Structure 1
């Protein structure tokens, strides 16, 4: 009897187990979610003009913003108030874990080179500096500023009514010499008899100095002034507005700053260079250990698209032909005083 009861209990337990097994949901296979790609972090150290200088610092920042919108890059910047800030700002952005750190401007060339040596695992790039033997983690970007400056100089030479134009440079070094002598060559190509007033301000962040130089040049009958002086040159544009004179901008299209006065600008596409390097980095093609130069042929420099607002069409047609000649190598634009003198 006991054995029979035990057998019945065992059968009952087996039935319960089978029923439970039939009602259980099968385990779903485990799948791993694909790892999300981390966004590249790219940051820049500005020159002393600051990120809103309406010139090359601002253009560089716009390039990073474009990289953010189109490539998903996380951009950042550190402003330099004085040259002594360069090294500490580069170190700060390196410590922040950026994939690439930019130096914006020739003046921090040695500091960027030293940072590349101190942090060999960190990638660095610089605007406006050429290195003879850059390390593998360092990229130099330069421009043929003289080519765009030649074109705006030609416009100035054709449009001057007083036969006198002016040039204001930021600081006295090679990059600004390319603007200076390219402009002078363009003026003389258009108008051999034109007089060119020229002065260097010694700073890129002093609009008051730009104002003072411009007031002096306009008082001497210059009716068009070209600047390559960053925020310092913005002081000249303000004077042009006040006096109803003509001005030529630099780096960015500065016509919006004074629509009735800025007839053209020698545009330098720092934004395109910044964006292109970000794209290369994302695709695993960072060109460290080299230098890249952008000219008219590479779309790195040109006159501003707004030039047709104040410059007569026949002059712009002549400029278009000159542009073709420069790209073809038929005109070699001088980049310094020696080449300018030889060209004359």
Structure 2
């Protein structure tokens, strides 16, 4: 065989080997996942929780993860369209606001899978996960209503006033507030609940200002439901010598002794599940999954940080009551009210 024919044969064999290897190469290509945030990481709350779930997915499944942050609504849509046009395998919209944008654009990208947190979107390529945050907030409101009577604890006055500060006035936060008020009134119908909205999830100075105002009005404990804005709420509790309730993640240790408990919302479990379902070909469009008290999707921390800080002044009766209320919600004995404007189905 001539040298020329040998070279041709060798080239053909190499090409054939490359063609045969292509499916395997494609199979080993990392799954591309984008997280679109309506705010920033570092909130020690909702956004960080969503990110933590995807970091765990990155470790377990080797995904290629991209995070896009902004507080500008125009950027949210641009970020979503950019990732969809780049044909990411999964785009996670981690807020009600991003859910609305996915609802608007999902049909234009039928080959892209979208995951929605805190919203219900009906589309064959969208899977939605929502939370019964009203149930978790019921427990938080109950804890606050009990705590405000513990006048033996420094910083707790003799007024039955508790506070609540949210980020933007949107349906999912109204659902938080509905549960919080019901939980407080369940314990004591005479308790007063102060309510403020900052109008932003990215303004800790505003959060601090609103919390300080509520402390001045007699509240001795304020619940934070405000993402990055909430960092200011927690700081206000520390500076004023009062108390706060954290949200979404365990925030008890941020200012030990000033955060009674945190209402955990397992956004990390939701984002991890979305990736896992895509990897295992279990992703189902037109599906809404709700996570509540019954399945551990929401609940309160064990208050161990506060217990350590207060020592023998810690009110153990609050823990006992919260345990009972949790069981009653789980069994259906207690029906927690829902905010009618928060969409739970599709």
TM-score, length of structure 1 as denominator length? 0.84
Report the CA distance shift for 1:127/1:307 in structure 2 as closer, same or farther (over 3 A).
farther
What corresponds to 1:123 in structure 2? Answer: 113
Task: Select 1:320's aligned residue among 323, 328, 344.
Answer: 323
Summarize deviations over 1:232-274 as a string: whole Å, max 9, x none: 1211111111111100011111112111211101111000001
2:32 is the counterpart of 1:41: yes
In structure 2, C-alpha distance between the alignment counterparts of 1:280 and 1:108, rounded to whole Å? 21
Consecutive unaligned residues in structure 2, runs of 5 or more: 1-16, 150-158, 308-313, 342-346
2:169 is the counterpart of 1:172: yes
In structure 1, C-alpha distance between the alignment counterparts of 2:92 and 2:266, rounded to whole Å? 16
2:260 is the counterpart of 1:254: no
Greater Cα shift, 311-320 or 135-144: 311-320
Report the CA distance shift for 1:208/1:308 in structure 2 as closer, same or farther (over 3 A).
closer
Q: 1:247 touches 1:261 (CA, 8 Å); kept in 2?
A: yes
2:148 is the counterpart of 1:151: no
What corresponds to 2:51 in structure 1? Answer: 61
Summarize deviations over 1:126-173 as a string: whole Å, max 9, x none: 111113xx1110112110001111111111111104311001121222
Q: 2:71 touches 2:202 (CA, 8 Å); kept in 1?
A: no
Q: Secondary structure at the match of 1:35?
A: helix
Task: Select 2:92's aligned residue among 102, 109, 112.
Answer: 102
Summarize deviations over 1:47-94 as a string: whole Å, max 9, x none: 12x022212111100010010112222222111231111111012222
Summarize deviations over 1:90-139 as a string: whole Å, max 9, x none: 122223342100111101222111221111111111111113xx111011
In structure 2, C-alpha distance between the alignment counterparts of 1:239 and 1:337, rounded to whole Å? 32
Q: Secondary structure at the match of 1:70?
A: helix
In structure 2, C-alpha distance between the alignment counterparts of 1:68 and 1:259, rounded to whole Å? 31
In structure 2, C-alpha distance between the alignment counterparts of 1:312 and 1:43, rounded to whole Å? 44
Q: Secondary structure at the match of 2:24?
A: coil
In structure 1, C-alpha distance between the alignment counterparts of 2:243 and 2:218, rounded to whole Å? 12
**Aligned-residue offset at 1:308:** 6.1
Q: Secondary structure at the match of 1:126?
A: strand
In structure 1, C-alpha distance between the alignment counterparts of 2:37 and 2:298, rounded to whole Å? 21
Q: 1:253 touches 1:305 (CA, 8 Å); kept in 2?
A: no
Consecutive unaligned residues in structure 1, runs of 5 or more: 1-29, 339-344
**Aligned-residue offset at 1:35:** 2.6
Q: Secondary structure at the match of 2:231?
A: helix
Larger radius of gyration: 1
What corresponds to 2:222 in structure 1? Answer: 225
Report the CA distance shift for 1:304/1:191 in structure 2 as closer, same or farther (over 3 A).
same
**Aligned-residue offset at 1:306:** 4.1
**Aligned-residue offset at 1:337:** 7.8
TM-score, length of structure 2 as denominator length? 0.84
Report the CA distance shift for 1:171/1:81 in structure 2 as closer, same or farther (over 3 A).
closer
Summarize deviations over 1:166-211 as a string: whole Å, max 9, x none: 0112122210011111111111112222111111111111111111
2:297 is the counterpart of 1:300: yes
* Equivalenced residues, count: 306
Q: Output the aligned Cα RMSD.
A: 2.0
Q: 1:263 touches 1:307 (CA, 8 Å); kept in 2?
A: no
Report the CA distance shift for 1:307/1:175 in structure 2 as closer, same or farther (over 3 A).
farther
In structure 1, C-alpha distance between the alignment counterparts of 2:303 and 2:50, rounded to whole Å? 20
Q: Secondary structure at the match of 2:253?
A: helix
Report the CA distance shift for 1:237/1:188 in structure 2 as closer, same or farther (over 3 A).
same
**Aligned-residue offset at 1:38:** 2.3
